[in-house]
Structure 1
């Protein structure tokens, strides 16, 4: 039986609506920024997890960004043992390929780091050094903590960011860890560091959008 004009019009109209809906979903997916959050300590009893749990509460306020938290203790990379330069991306091991794929999917990076002897933990430097191109042309936000607020580990990461062709965000969250642990050892935030987190995340969002657009050109 032949389709009458009315049925044909309705069929075409519904197809158009479905196509527009798919297109809209694709645009929304593309608009969403994927931000990697690296928990940069693997020490047993570390405070990094407590800081990360607090920071996750801050990221939950941002619907336009999808945060991918990575615990280096769980990632458990061996000491860097790839035979070729990272920039060649000629990876021999599956764990490197998996790490590369994960970082490559990010539009920006946030590192939560303590300060060990005026520097960053070895496990964090090791995870960074496995890759090169995957970090390029992406913004870097920092959440540091320690008795000196982690400023010197942050300074290390700013220098590393230059070599990795990353844009380090000026605003950071710097925490005096001993002022934010209660008698039970639980991390307690306050208005000051919450405001710092908002400012850093707002700046990171701007840079992530701008640099993603630039990378796609």
Structure 2
């Protein structure tokens, strides 16, 4: 993982919380973006509107806990990609019966890690309270997701600020929107460093050599991970007499996209990325892929140690582990066989590869 916070431009996701017919949310979100655009442009900040009515999330329907990052449905993976790509959020929300819309709570609940260590600001609207009680409820939820609500807010009383479904022109309101965005992006810049040292570091795991640190992969890891992957698969290309290997063709954008469907782990030794692996649930199996160890670190037991760890991360209902490797990758095959895997000679294995499986042992009962 990079030790330096990313210097790329900040990306702010503006979330329209209301999904009901006749809602004011889209018009208020459009007003906010236009009012804040001069400040955003000057600061190199991108603004993107995510309308929950268009996104169309059903009531939370994922079988695994959101903190697992294992998503069965494409609508969840798509939402995960939108949220993970953001550095900060602006939530445009009305107040329903002293609280936030159910659609907003549901959108929060679908994900977990994607929200963490990012600031959030609120544009609320309503009648007597201008939607502020909705914001108070939402703040309790976002702090539990490790988000940071900033102090600056914009609260619109419909009778005073809305006419014919549009926000009235007001230099004061526009200035409030700009100031809120400036505070949000200032906090977002400061919080980037928190996301380079995630709370997902694995503790209590003793590695086979000194100085190992195992973490869930983060976006800032990916460029370095891609370099490691290509170094490792050069050996695979030589062993299998082909350069036509997916790990050698994968681009940084494709690797980034994979984070929405795979769980990725990185291993660093004294700060240097030396190993990685990914896994995902697949029809009752735990599919393990791209297990790699830097060539100069091979033979130290890191691969076996990492394989054992990733097996332990499988969902409770997993019946077996599965993985693929090159049909001439004898060193890999021997490693997997020592770990209890057997070659599966069934149909459907991609050309040039072998399929290995291992039955998961049931947990011992406690009496």
TM-score range, shorter chain: 0.7 to 0.9
For 2:187, the equivalent position in structure 1 comes to: 207
Question: Of 151, 155, 174, which aligns to 2:155?
Answer: 174
> Could you tell me how far 1:153 is from its partner in structure 2?
0.4
- 1:59 paired with 2:36, answer yes
Tell me how far 1:59 sits from its aligned partner.
2.7
Aligned equivalents of 1:192, 1:99: Cα separation in 2: 34
Check conservation: 1:174, 1:193, Cα contact below 8 A. no
2: CA distance, partners of 1:31 / 1:134: 18
CA distance in 1, matches of 2:177, 2:36: 9
Residue in 1 that maps onto 2:63: 83
Aligned length: 188
Q: Distance in 2 between matches of 1:203 and 1:136?
A: 18
Report the Cα distance in structure 1 between the residues aligned to 2:36 and 2:149, rounded to whole angstroms: 18
| 62, 78, 86: which one aligns with 1:98 | 78
Tell me if the contact between 2:27 and 2:165 (Cα under 8 Å) persists in the aligned partners.
no
Distance 2:24 2:120 in 1: 21
Name the counterpart of 2:50.
Answer: 70
CA contact (8 A) 1:54 1:189 kept: no
**What's the CA shift for 1:158?**
1.1
TM-score norm. by structure 2 comes to 0.50
In structure 2, C-alpha distance between the alignment counterparts of 1:50 and 1:102, rounded to whole Å: 21
Bigger strand share: 2
Structure 2 unmatched ranges of 5 or more:
1-5, 198-367
In the alignment, structure 1 residue 126 sits paired with structure 2 residue 82: no
The separation in 2 between residues aligned to 1:175 and 1:125, in whole angstroms, is 21
Aligned residue in 2 for 1:198:
178
Q: Which residue of 2 aligns with 1:188?
A: 168
Large movers: runs of 4+ above 6 Å:
none
1:30 offset after TM fit, Å?
4.2
Q: Distance in 2 between matches of 1:189 and 1:161?
A: 31
Q: Map Cα deviations across residues 156-211 of structure 1 (whole Å, 9 max, x no partner).
A: 111112101011111100110121223x4432142332222122111101111111
Q: Which stretch has the larger CA shift, 200-209 or 55-64? A: 55-64
- Over aligned residue pairs, what C-alpha RMSD do you find? 1.4
Among 17, 34, 39, which residue is 2:11 paired with?
34
Structure 1: where are the runs of 5+ without partners?
A: 1-28
CA offsets, 1:109-152, max 9 Å, x none? 11000000010111111111100110000000100000111110
Higher relative contact order (CA 8 A, sep 6+): 1
